[in-house]
């Protein structure tokens, strides 16, 4: 089984590429979705986040996301501590999930593949690349947010120029290059 890390900045089109990889018969793990689920279901995460931020971080509905966001927004150290709780649990969950898959390829889709260290869990790293201005426009349209809100989100990700150096293969999703032939070229090389 070959394990692929799929990453790209916000608005790059990771989800589109992940969907296409599913069509090629690959099992795809969406780290963002799974981590959100684990925030409410993992007793380890709940215990450690409660120890970090107090018992009010969880209520009867689960994690109090607005409270957590307000606590970590301007506290880089707390954000780092929260990530140190969440990322290892997501990594364990992914490994367990991957071990149950029967496909030849499994994909770990994560916007923060390198930032989280998830790249160490995979054999190949694919970067979905789109120019910054195009990504900003896509996210503003998709999420109905301002440019400044998009730029704020982008600050928490490694710039694509650095990711390009770390990635094994780059798929250009820039409204100029066709994505499917790039995926096929990569797929048939592996």
Determine the Cα angle at 168 with ends 165 and 171, to 5°: 90
Q: Cα–Cα distances in Å, from 96 out to 114, 116, 129, 146, 172?
A: 20, 18, 29, 38, 31
DSSP code of residue 158 = -
Give pLDDT tens digits along the chain (190 positions).
999 999 999 999 999 999 999 999 999 999 999 999 999 999 999 999 999 999 999 998 899 988 998 888 778 899 999 999 999 999 999 999 999 999 999 999 999 999 999 999 999 999 999 999 999 999 999 999 999 888 888 887 888 889 999 999 999 999 899 999 999 888 877 6
Rounded distance between C-alpha atoms, residue 6 and residue 119, angstroms: 9
Which residue, 40, 12, 25, 6, is CA-closest to 138? 12
Prediction pTM value: 0.91
Domains and CATH numbers, the chain: 2-189 (3.40.50.300)
């Amino acid at each position: 089984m070959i394990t692929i890390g799929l990453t790209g900045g916000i608005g790059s089109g990771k989800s589109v590429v992940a969907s296409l990889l599913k069509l090629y018969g690959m099992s795809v793990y969406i780290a963002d979705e799974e981590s959100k689920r684990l925030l409410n279901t993992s007793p380890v995460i709940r215990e450690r986040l409660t120890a970090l931020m107090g018992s009010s971080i969880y209520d009867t509905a689960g994690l109090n996301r607005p409270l957590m966001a307000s606590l970590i927004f301007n506290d880089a150290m707390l954000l780092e501590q929260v990530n140190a709780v969440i990322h290892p649990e997501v990594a364990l969950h992914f490994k367990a999930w991957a071990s149950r898959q029967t496909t030849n390829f499994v994909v770990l889709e994560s916007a923060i593949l390198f930032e989280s260290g998830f790249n160490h869990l995979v054999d190949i790293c694919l970067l979905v690349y789109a120019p910054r201005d195009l990504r900003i426009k896509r996210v503003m349209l998709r999420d109905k947010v301002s440019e400044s809100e998009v730029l704020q989100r982008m600050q928490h990700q490694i710039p694509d120029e650095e990711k390009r150096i770390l990635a094994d293969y780059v798929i250009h999703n820039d409204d100029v290059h066709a994505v499917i032939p790039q995926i096929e070229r990569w797929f048939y090389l592996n």
